[in-house]
Chain A
Amino acid sequence: MPERAPDFVYVIYIAASVEKVWNGLIDHHLTRQYWEHDNVSTWKKGSRWEHVRSDGSGKVDVAGKVVEIEPPRRMVITWAEGGNAGDEAKTSRVTFDLTAVGPDTKLTVTHSDLEAGSEMFIGITSGWPAVLSNLKTLLETGQTLSDKLWR
């Protein structure tokens, strides 16, 4: 059976090296700054990853497994709400593809197998574009929007 077409395909160009953008995805000190969550894992094939709130509550909002990992070019992870990890129907899949474009990086985020009409589906539509533009701002300027407001 052919795989279903992805639900969302997001592309962003970032004026930073592929290695820097890759780090931005897996270094929890960085994810905390632009995503307000720590992405925590050993980042090995088969290992678990968690998307933990950085507010000190330790709440795991999203969790999954690292399905494929080829630093710094490609990573596939599964994605489910913290409490739904292991529930196949509620597990979606996110692919990150990083390509060098001269000194810059083209980052493609593909989200597949989302449950249609689910809260997660609705959250994704407003979530990724904001997260990715915040990542771009952080890597290009060293600041995020909330930093500017608070300092």
Chain B
Amino acid sequence: MADVFRALADDSRRALLDRLFARNGQTLRQLAANLPMSRQAVAKHLAILEEANLVSTIWRGREKLHYLNPVPIAGIVRRWVGKFEDARLEALTDFQHQIETNKEKRRA
């Protein structure tokens, strides 16, 4: 579990997970596009994420596709969030999301 937290404690790596959350199954080239990082730096971050099992990969021909693997995060949630707290927490985070998007809309 320690390497999961270590892997998550970095803005660039969280940004890469965000990209996979938005679109799963990307190649290194796709993930590195429009990022202020060299492809080598992205590859290094991906290796750390894969080591922590937050990213899973498969080969399709000569292409390596990267997937978001939230299974270790689910393990963390199950450790500290009770079975029946799930729904209430979800309602709260939905509420927060709703308020925050409305605020942004008003600002725009």
Contacts and interface: CB of A to CB of B under 8 A. Distances in A.
A145 B83 contact: yes
B12 interface: no
A146 B58 CA distance: 33
Contacts of A146: 83
A129 B65 contact: no
Contacts, number: 57
B60 interface: yes
A108 B56 contact: yes
A44 B78 CA distance: 34
Interface string B51-89: 001001110100001010111011101100011100000
B60 A132 contact: no
Given A145-B83, A149-B82, A129 B74 contact: yes
A11 B53 CA distance: 7
Interface stretch (A1-9, A51-59, A62-70): A1-9
Interface of A: 2, 5-13, 108, 110, 128-130, 132-134, 136-137, 145-146, 149
Interface of B: 24-25, 53, 56-58, 60, 65, 67, 69-71, 73-75, 77-78, 82-84
